[in-house]
Amino acid sequence: MDTKYIFITGGVVSSLGKGIISASIGKLLQARGYKITIQKFDPYINIDPGTLNPYEHGECYVTADGMETDLDLGHYERFTGIETTRNNSVTTGRIYLSVIERERRGDYLGKTIQVVPHITDEIKRRMLREGAGEAYDFVITEVGGTIGDIESAPFMEAIRQLRYQLGRNAVCVHLTYVPYLKAAGELKTKPTQHSVKELQSMGIQPDILVLRTEQHLDDNMRMKVASFCNVDLECVVQSEDLPSIYEVPVNMQRQGLDAAILRKIGIPVGETPAMKPWHTFLDKQRNATREVHVGLVGKYDLQDAYKSIRESLNLAGIYNDVKLKIHFINSEEVTKENVADKLKGMQGVVICPGFGSRGIEGKIIAAEYTRTNDIPTFGICLGMQMMVIEFARNVLCYKDANSVEMDADTKHNVIDIMEEQKSITQMGGTMRLGAYDCELVEGSRTWEAYDEEKLIRERHRHRYEFNNEYQKEYEAAGMKCVGINPDAQLVEIVEIPEKRWYIGTQFHPEYSSTVLHPHPLFMSFVKTCSE
């Protein structure tokens, strides 16, 4: 069939969960046998989120082909199991950069470059995935921001044009907020009405409304919204607060969201798919009662800053039949005097990734405490480097050991900048990014976790590496280098075999963990913690 297009927009306020709804729609259509992809269009002018502070934008998610993207792509991959690429993430910055580069080459033959048609045409080209090289039954496009934002106007105009050009091959799903006023004891639909009116003023009539609410909406209220917003009653769906984001697809299916989309497009609905593996997963989640406490040692006191790590831990907990309780521990506040108190009660510790010197001494102190007290420890990217530095200082007795990122003059640069990174001056998109091969040492704990696979492939985001000049010293002292990139001979994984579970990875395994296929390292880590 011809490719169908679903546009997801949001109104009233941000952070309503457009990414979760987009991923849920993708999952439901997948369950019906359709080939789908999901893409995110962000209105900000940055080329990508790679240089954004996590406090501003949450974590930066990395695709296998090395694109730094919005964290919503993590939701897309975890829900659907698809592997996104650089074509799935577009910003205003990328749009304008592409148009300006073409203008400089003379591609427009002297035309005056304007938002309409040149910017909107470029947006439409990417929304249609022209040149992306793969055919899909459905392309789901989420537009970031909120209706009425000045930055999103070109995206709305592009959607308006595409709705007209594509006819029944396109639908618009609009996500809004229905607040509950406690003092009045009432739910208010007026913000939704105004949001839809704003969308209509741009020439877009939403086909389906998803109402984000903290209180259940009865049929009378849904009927009121349908009447005021020119939407069929069956196309007014509510998204209530749920115990887990992974229950959202089931809730949407129960209300017939996927069926409504198919009817709007003119496709026979057929039988509702059972989604047995998903329900099995949810059953395990509901039935888990035994709690396991894991500490997250990092410097960003923001849930979204470590989103993929948190979700990977939770998924591994569910499959290990335990309820994971994650405790954030600010590494800036960790000292030798209070580390025991800070980590008290933790059955496992994750040393988090990051950049810069802020909070690293706390991570090093935490790594020493967990190593000497044999607490299962998982270091990721910078976290792995902190484990390496701690070992050099306290086992190899190089008291000044450090990374050249933190101390360019250190005499014992156990973490050094990659050779190809030394001449780079621009920050954005220039790190070692994307998936690279890694050969595992047979018999290692990591090799066992990966079900005895010899060659794995994982995603990276860093500039600094383990300094191979020290490899023999580390191995002789008990920290083994058990994962090596076969091409560059870079150390990807270290572990201390004599400990219960003490492993650091230079790559980011959290990017590859999905609902139906949790990452093996997180599975092994949580299993050890729960023992």
The per-residue DSSP string of 253-305 comes to HHTTHHHHHHHHHT----SPP--HHHHHHHHHHHH---EEEEEEEES---GGG
Average pLDDT over residues 439-454: 96
Based on the residue annotation, tell me whether 510 is a catalytic residue of this protein.
Answer: yes
For 214, 239, 277, 508, the CA distances from 244, given in Å and listed in that order, are 14, 12, 16, 24
**Is residue 327 flagged as an active site residue?**
no
The C-alpha atoms of residue 519 and residue 524 are separated, in whole angstroms, by: 9
β-pairing, 464-466 vs 480-484, is unpaired
Q: How confident is the model at residue 525 (pLDDT cuts 50, 70, 90)?
A: very high
Bridge partners (DSSP) listed for residue 41: 90, 143
Catalytic entry in 68, 405, 492, 510? 510
For the segment 334-351, the average pLDDT, to the nearest whole number, is 97
- Options 381, 438, 481, 529, the catalytic residue: 381
240 noted as active-site residue? no
pTM: 0.93
Mean pLDDT along residues 288-293: 94
With residue 521 as reference, give the H or E element that holds it: helix 520-530
Quick one: DSSP state of residue 116? I
Instruction: Determine how many CB atoms are found less than 10 A away from the CB of residue 151.
Output: 14
Element (H, E) at 91: strand 89-91
Averaged pLDDT, 52-65: 88
Q: Is the pLDDT of residue 71 over 80?
A: yes
What pLDDT score was predicted for residue 357? 86
Tokens of 319: 């499959």
From residue 362, give the alpha-carbon distance in Å to each of 209, 330, 331, 400: 47, 8, 5, 16
- Catalytic entry in 75, 460, 508, 519: 508
Note whether 411 and 449 are within 8 A (CB): no
Read off the pLDDT of each residue in 137-145 and give the average, rounded to a whole number: 96
pLDDT confidence of residue 422: 67
Q: What is the pLDDT of residues 172-186, one digit of tens each?
A: 999 999 999 888 888
